[in-house]
Copies of this chain bind each other. A is one copy, B any other.
Amino acid sequence: MPQNRRRQNDPTARRIGVDWGTTHVRAWLLGAGGRVLDVRRDDRGMGRIAGDEAAFGAVYDTLVADWPDVPALACGMVGARQGWIEAPYVEVPTALIGLASRAVTVTSPKGRRLAILPGICQREPADVMRGEETKLVGLALEAPDVASSGFALLPGTHSKHAALEEGCVVHFRSVPTGELFDVLGQHSLLRFSLERDGAYDAIAFDDAVLEGATLRAGELTAALFNLRARSLLEAFSPAAARGRLSGLLIGAELALLDRERPIALVGSGGMIEPISRAFRVLGRPAPRVFDGDALVRRALAHLAALLEGADI
Protein backbone atom coordinates (compact mmCIF):
# COMPACT_ATOMS: atom_id res chain seq x y z
CA MET A 1 0.00 0.00 0.00
CA PRO A 2 1.89 3.02 -1.31
CA GLN A 3 0.06 5.38 1.03
CA ASN A 4 1.31 3.48 4.04
CA ARG A 5 4.86 3.29 2.73
CA ARG A 6 4.81 7.03 2.37
CA ARG A 7 3.54 7.39 5.96
CA GLN A 8 6.45 5.39 7.29
CA ASN A 9 8.83 8.20 6.39
CA ASP A 10 6.32 11.04 6.58
CA PRO A 11 8.41 13.99 7.78
CA THR A 12 5.26 15.86 8.87
CA ALA A 13 4.30 13.14 11.40
CA ARG A 14 4.83 14.46 14.92
CA ARG A 15 3.05 12.12 17.32
CA ILE A 16 0.81 9.09 17.72
CA GLY A 17 -2.33 9.35 19.85
CA VAL A 18 -4.15 6.19 21.01
CA ASP A 19 -7.60 5.84 22.57
CA TRP A 20 -7.75 2.24 23.82
CA GLY A 21 -11.06 1.48 25.48
CA THR A 22 -12.91 -1.64 26.56
CA THR A 23 -14.42 -2.49 23.18
CA HIS A 24 -11.96 -1.10 20.64
CA VAL A 25 -8.78 0.83 20.04
CA ARG A 26 -8.14 3.75 17.71
CA ALA A 27 -4.80 5.28 16.82
CA TRP A 28 -4.17 8.57 15.06
CA LEU A 29 -0.98 9.70 13.36
CA LEU A 30 -0.84 13.40 14.13
CA GLY A 31 0.99 16.23 12.42
CA ALA A 32 1.73 19.78 13.54
CA GLY A 33 -1.06 21.34 15.58
CA GLY A 34 -2.64 17.91 16.05
CA ARG A 35 -3.69 17.57 12.40
CA VAL A 36 -4.79 13.99 11.63
CA LEU A 37 -2.56 12.41 8.98
CA ASP A 38 -3.81 8.85 9.29
CA VAL A 39 -6.01 6.68 11.49
CA ARG A 40 -6.14 3.00 12.47
CA ARG A 41 -8.80 1.03 14.29
CA ASP A 42 -9.02 -2.45 15.80
CA ASP A 43 -11.73 -4.22 17.77
CA ARG A 44 -9.29 -5.83 20.20
CA GLY A 45 -10.31 -3.54 23.03
CA MET A 46 -9.11 -4.09 26.58
CA GLY A 47 -12.10 -6.35 27.28
CA ARG A 48 -10.96 -8.91 24.70
CA ILE A 49 -7.33 -9.11 25.75
CA ALA A 50 -7.58 -8.23 29.45
CA GLY A 51 -4.54 -9.29 31.44
CA ASP A 52 -2.60 -10.41 28.36
CA GLU A 53 0.41 -8.10 28.19
CA ALA A 54 1.84 -9.80 25.08
CA ALA A 55 -1.46 -9.32 23.22
CA PHE A 56 -1.46 -5.60 23.94
CA GLY A 57 2.06 -5.32 22.54
CA ALA A 58 1.23 -7.35 19.44
CA VAL A 59 -1.95 -5.39 18.72
CA TYR A 60 -0.09 -2.11 19.13
CA ASP A 61 2.79 -3.08 16.86
CA THR A 62 0.35 -4.19 14.15
CA LEU A 63 -1.73 -1.06 14.52
CA VAL A 64 1.13 1.38 14.00
CA ALA A 65 3.37 -0.84 11.83
CA ASP A 66 3.21 1.52 8.85
CA TRP A 67 3.83 4.66 10.83
CA PRO A 68 7.07 6.41 11.81
CA ASP A 69 8.32 5.84 15.36
CA VAL A 70 7.31 9.22 16.78
CA PRO A 71 6.39 9.87 20.46
CA ALA A 72 3.14 8.11 21.35
CA LEU A 73 0.60 8.65 24.10
CA ALA A 74 -2.47 6.55 24.98
CA CYS A 75 -5.51 6.93 27.20
CA GLY A 76 -8.29 4.61 28.34
CA MET A 77 -8.67 1.11 29.72
CA VAL A 78 -5.23 0.15 28.33
CA GLY A 79 -3.99 1.66 31.62
CA ALA A 80 -6.36 -0.33 33.86
CA ARG A 81 -5.20 -3.12 36.16
CA GLN A 82 -6.20 -5.61 33.45
CA GLY A 83 -4.71 -3.44 30.70
CA TRP A 84 -1.22 -3.39 29.21
CA ILE A 85 0.24 -1.83 32.35
CA GLU A 86 -1.53 -0.19 35.26
CA ALA A 87 -1.37 3.60 35.29
CA PRO A 88 -2.77 4.13 38.80
CA TYR A 89 -5.75 6.45 39.27
CA VAL A 90 -5.09 10.05 40.24
CA GLU A 91 -7.51 11.25 42.90
CA VAL A 92 -9.78 14.30 42.58
CA PRO A 93 -9.42 17.19 42.87
CA THR A 94 -6.80 16.96 40.15
CA ALA A 95 -5.42 19.39 37.58
CA LEU A 96 -6.24 18.14 34.11
CA ILE A 97 -2.98 19.18 32.46
CA GLY A 98 -1.05 17.59 35.33
CA LEU A 99 -2.23 14.11 34.29
CA ALA A 100 0.64 13.97 31.77
CA SER A 101 3.17 13.76 34.58
CA ARG A 102 1.50 10.60 35.91
CA ALA A 103 1.74 8.68 32.62
CA VAL A 104 3.40 5.24 32.72
CA THR A 105 5.52 4.08 29.78
CA VAL A 106 5.68 0.62 28.18
CA THR A 107 7.86 -0.68 25.36
CA SER A 108 6.31 -2.88 22.66
CA PRO A 109 7.88 -6.10 21.31
CA LYS A 110 9.12 -4.07 18.32
CA GLY A 111 10.73 -1.55 20.61
CA ARG A 112 8.17 1.25 20.36
CA ARG A 113 7.59 3.27 23.50
CA LEU A 114 4.04 4.20 24.48
CA ALA A 115 3.15 6.47 27.40
CA ILE A 116 -0.19 5.64 29.01
CA LEU A 117 -2.23 8.24 30.88
CA PRO A 118 -3.82 7.46 34.26
CA GLY A 119 -7.54 7.52 34.97
CA ILE A 120 -8.95 9.54 37.82
CA CYS A 121 -10.82 8.40 40.91
CA GLN A 122 -12.91 9.82 43.70
CA ARG A 123 -13.15 8.34 47.19
CA GLU A 124 -16.50 9.73 48.38
CA PRO A 125 -18.70 8.75 46.75
CA ALA A 126 -16.49 6.12 45.15
CA ASP A 127 -16.11 6.63 41.41
CA VAL A 128 -13.62 6.10 38.60
CA MET A 129 -13.05 7.13 34.99
CA ARG A 130 -10.49 6.05 32.39
CA GLY A 131 -10.45 7.75 29.03
CA GLU A 132 -13.03 10.43 29.75
CA GLU A 133 -10.46 12.48 31.69
CA THR A 134 -8.55 12.88 28.42
CA LYS A 135 -11.67 14.30 26.77
CA LEU A 136 -11.86 16.72 29.69
CA VAL A 137 -8.24 17.75 29.02
CA GLY A 138 -9.26 18.45 25.43
CA LEU A 139 -12.28 20.38 26.67
CA ALA A 140 -10.05 22.49 28.90
CA LEU A 141 -7.89 23.35 25.87
CA GLU A 142 -10.89 24.01 23.62
CA ALA A 143 -13.03 25.93 26.11
CA PRO A 144 -10.92 27.43 28.91
CA ASP A 145 -14.04 29.13 30.31
CA VAL A 146 -15.66 25.73 30.95
CA ALA A 147 -12.46 24.44 32.57
CA SER A 148 -12.29 27.50 34.79
CA SER A 149 -15.82 27.01 36.11
CA GLY A 150 -18.12 24.65 34.32
CA PHE A 151 -19.89 21.36 34.12
CA ALA A 152 -19.34 18.64 31.53
CA LEU A 153 -21.69 15.84 30.53
CA LEU A 154 -20.13 12.91 28.67
CA PRO A 155 -22.99 10.56 27.78
CA GLY A 156 -22.29 6.95 26.93
CA THR A 157 -22.00 3.43 28.27
CA HIS A 158 -20.92 4.91 31.56
CA SER A 159 -21.93 8.56 31.36
CA LYS A 160 -19.75 10.97 33.30
CA HIS A 161 -20.94 14.19 34.94
CA ALA A 162 -17.94 16.31 35.89
CA ALA A 163 -17.64 19.60 37.76
CA LEU A 164 -14.60 21.63 36.69
CA GLU A 165 -12.96 24.49 38.53
CA GLU A 166 -9.74 26.34 37.72
CA GLY A 167 -8.62 23.63 35.32
CA CYS A 168 -9.28 20.84 37.84
CA VAL A 169 -11.84 18.07 38.05
CA VAL A 170 -13.27 18.68 41.50
CA HIS A 171 -16.10 16.15 41.54
CA PHE A 172 -17.70 13.65 39.21
CA ARG A 173 -20.42 11.04 39.00
CA SER A 174 -20.83 8.04 36.69
CA VAL A 175 -24.27 6.98 35.49
CA PRO A 176 -24.23 3.69 33.56
CA THR A 177 -27.15 4.66 31.31
CA GLY A 178 -25.78 3.10 28.13
CA GLU A 179 -24.82 -0.11 29.84
CA LEU A 180 -28.25 -0.46 31.46
CA PHE A 181 -29.89 0.09 28.09
CA ASP A 182 -27.74 -2.62 26.50
CA VAL A 183 -27.99 -5.14 29.34
CA LEU A 184 -31.74 -4.73 29.76
CA GLY A 185 -32.34 -4.80 26.03
CA GLN A 186 -30.30 -7.97 25.56
CA HIS A 187 -30.73 -9.96 28.76
CA SER A 188 -33.92 -8.93 30.57
CA LEU A 189 -37.56 -9.64 29.76
CA LEU A 190 -37.38 -6.54 27.55
CA ARG A 191 -35.35 -8.47 24.98
CA PHE A 192 -38.66 -9.73 23.58
CA SER A 193 -40.05 -6.20 23.27
CA LEU A 194 -37.23 -4.15 21.73
CA GLU A 195 -36.29 -3.64 18.14
CA ARG A 196 -32.68 -4.69 17.77
CA ASP A 197 -30.48 -2.04 16.21
CA GLY A 198 -33.66 -0.38 15.02
CA ALA A 199 -34.57 3.27 14.99
CA TYR A 200 -36.36 4.47 18.08
CA ASP A 201 -39.79 6.04 18.11
CA ALA A 202 -39.30 9.74 18.90
CA ILE A 203 -42.73 10.31 20.47
CA ALA A 204 -42.28 7.40 22.86
CA PHE A 205 -38.77 8.70 23.61
CA ASP A 206 -40.01 12.22 24.41
CA ASP A 207 -42.80 11.01 26.71
CA ALA A 208 -40.40 8.73 28.51
CA VAL A 209 -37.75 11.43 28.99
CA LEU A 210 -40.30 13.59 30.81
CA GLU A 211 -41.50 10.64 32.85
CA GLY A 212 -38.03 9.29 33.64
CA ALA A 213 -36.97 12.68 35.00
CA THR A 214 -39.66 12.51 37.70
CA LEU A 215 -39.50 8.86 38.76
CA ARG A 216 -38.39 7.47 42.07
CA ALA A 217 -36.02 4.49 41.95
CA GLY A 218 -38.68 1.83 42.44
CA GLU A 219 -40.94 3.50 39.89
CA LEU A 220 -38.18 3.15 37.30
CA THR A 221 -37.92 -0.56 38.07
CA ALA A 222 -41.69 -0.90 37.77
CA ALA A 223 -41.66 1.08 34.50
CA LEU A 224 -39.43 -1.61 32.98
CA PHE A 225 -42.06 -4.29 33.61
CA ASN A 226 -44.80 -1.94 32.45
CA LEU A 227 -42.92 -1.56 29.16
CA ARG A 228 -43.00 -5.33 28.67
CA ALA A 229 -46.69 -5.45 29.59
CA ARG A 230 -47.50 -2.71 27.08
CA SER A 231 -45.91 -4.70 24.30
CA LEU A 232 -48.00 -7.71 25.37
CA LEU A 233 -51.33 -5.89 25.77
CA GLU A 234 -51.17 -2.96 23.36
CA ALA A 235 -50.06 -2.31 19.83
CA PHE A 236 -46.80 -0.98 21.26
CA SER A 237 -44.16 -1.38 18.58
CA PRO A 238 -40.60 -2.56 19.18
CA ALA A 239 -39.39 0.85 18.02
CA ALA A 240 -41.66 2.51 20.59
CA ALA A 241 -40.36 0.17 23.27
CA ARG A 242 -36.79 1.03 22.30
CA GLY A 243 -37.56 4.75 22.39
CA ARG A 244 -39.30 4.41 25.72
CA LEU A 245 -36.49 2.47 27.42
CA SER A 246 -33.91 4.94 26.12
CA GLY A 247 -36.04 7.91 27.17
CA LEU A 248 -36.71 6.61 30.69
CA LEU A 249 -33.02 6.05 31.37
CA ILE A 250 -31.86 9.32 29.79
CA GLY A 251 -34.59 11.31 31.56
CA ALA A 252 -33.62 9.74 34.87
CA GLU A 253 -29.96 10.60 34.22
CA LEU A 254 -30.52 14.20 33.13
CA ALA A 255 -32.69 14.88 36.20
CA LEU A 256 -29.47 14.58 38.22
CA LEU A 257 -28.06 17.72 36.58
CA ASP A 258 -28.50 21.15 38.14
CA ARG A 259 -31.19 22.83 36.00
CA GLU A 260 -29.56 26.25 36.09
CA ARG A 261 -25.96 25.33 35.35
CA PRO A 262 -24.76 25.58 31.73
CA ILE A 263 -23.69 22.20 30.40
CA ALA A 264 -20.84 21.33 28.05
CA LEU A 265 -22.00 18.21 26.20
CA VAL A 266 -19.07 16.09 25.04
CA GLY A 267 -20.20 13.33 22.75
CA SER A 268 -19.52 11.34 19.66
CA GLY A 269 -21.74 10.35 16.77
CA GLY A 270 -25.01 8.83 17.83
CA MET A 271 -25.22 10.15 21.38
CA ILE A 272 -25.42 13.87 20.64
CA GLU A 273 -28.80 13.82 18.94
CA PRO A 274 -30.89 12.00 21.58
CA ILE A 275 -29.24 13.86 24.48
CA SER A 276 -29.76 17.24 22.83
CA ARG A 277 -33.35 16.26 22.12
CA ALA A 278 -33.86 15.27 25.75
CA PHE A 279 -32.57 18.68 26.86
CA ARG A 280 -35.19 20.33 24.66
CA VAL A 281 -37.95 18.02 25.92
CA LEU A 282 -37.06 18.89 29.52
CA GLY A 283 -37.13 22.61 28.73
CA ARG A 284 -33.47 23.04 29.59
CA PRO A 285 -31.13 25.50 27.86
CA ALA A 286 -29.34 23.82 24.95
CA PRO A 287 -25.91 22.52 25.94
CA ARG A 288 -22.75 23.62 24.16
CA VAL A 289 -21.73 20.63 22.09
CA PHE A 290 -18.16 19.35 21.67
CA ASP A 291 -16.95 16.43 19.59
CA GLY A 292 -15.38 13.88 21.93
CA ASP A 293 -13.04 12.36 19.36
CA ALA A 294 -11.63 15.76 18.40
CA LEU A 295 -11.10 16.56 22.09
CA VAL A 296 -9.23 13.30 22.68
CA ARG A 297 -6.91 13.94 19.74
CA ARG A 298 -6.26 17.50 20.82
CA ALA A 299 -5.53 16.39 24.38
CA LEU A 300 -3.21 13.57 23.32
CA ALA A 301 -1.25 15.85 20.99
CA HIS A 302 -0.96 18.51 23.67
CA LEU A 303 0.00 16.19 26.51
CA ALA A 304 2.48 14.29 24.33
CA ALA A 305 4.18 17.60 23.56
CA LEU A 306 4.25 18.48 27.25
CA LEU A 307 5.91 15.14 27.99
CA GLU A 308 8.64 15.93 25.45
CA GLY A 309 8.93 19.54 26.48
CA ALA A 310 8.31 20.32 22.82
CA ASP A 311 5.95 22.44 20.75
CA ILE A 312 2.61 20.99 19.78
How many copies of this chain does the complex contain?
2
**Which chain A residues have a beta carbon within 8 Å of chain B's beta carbons?**
89, 121-123, 125-128, 158, 173-177, 179-180, 183-184, 186-189, 212, 215-222, 224-226, 229-230, 232-234, 248-249, 251-256
What is the CA–CA distance of A201 and B212 in the complex, to the nearest angstrom?
31
Task: Contacts A179-B189, A189-B179, A226-B174 given; indicate if A128 touches B218 (C-beta within 8 A).
Answer: no
Closest Cβ–Cβ distance, residue A258 to chain B (whole Å): 13
| 10 A-B residue pairings within 8 Å (CB atoms) | A121-B233, A127-B226, A127-B229, A158-B225, A175-B225, A176-B224, A180-B188, A216-B216, A216-B255, A217-B220
Closest Cβ–Cβ distance, residue A193 to chain B (whole Å): 11
What is the CA–CA distance of A76 and B242 in the complex, to the nearest angstrom?
28
Q: Is the CB of B249 within 8 A of A175?
A: no
- Candidate in A218, A219, A224, A249 with the most chain B CB atoms within 10 angstroms: A218
Task: Give every chain B residue within 8 A of A248 (Cβ-Cβ).
Answer: 217
Q: Is the CB of A229 within 8 A of B174?
A: yes
Task: Give every chain B residue within 8 A of A218 (Cβ-Cβ).
Answer: 175, 212, 252-256
Q: Is the CB of A256 within 8 A of B225?
A: no
Task: Give every chain B residue within 8 A of A183 (Cβ-Cβ).
Answer: 183-184, 187-188
What is the CA–CA distance of A189 and B157 in the complex, to the nearest angstrom?
11
- Candidate in A125, A226, A248 with the most chain B CB atoms within 10 angstroms: A226
Task: Contacts A179-B189, A217-B215, A220-B220 given; indicate if A174 touches B225 (C-beta within 8 A).
Answer: yes
Task: Contacts A128-B232, A216-B216, A216-B252 given; indicate if A221 touches B121 (C-beta within 8 A).
Answer: no
Task: Give every chain B residue within 8 A of A215 (Cβ-Cβ).
Answer: 216-217
What is the CA–CA distance of A189 and B183 in the complex, to the nearest angstrom?
10
Closest Cβ–Cβ distance, residue A151 to chain B (whole Å): 15
- Candidate in A89, A126, A189, A249 with the most chain B CB atoms within 10 angstroms: A126
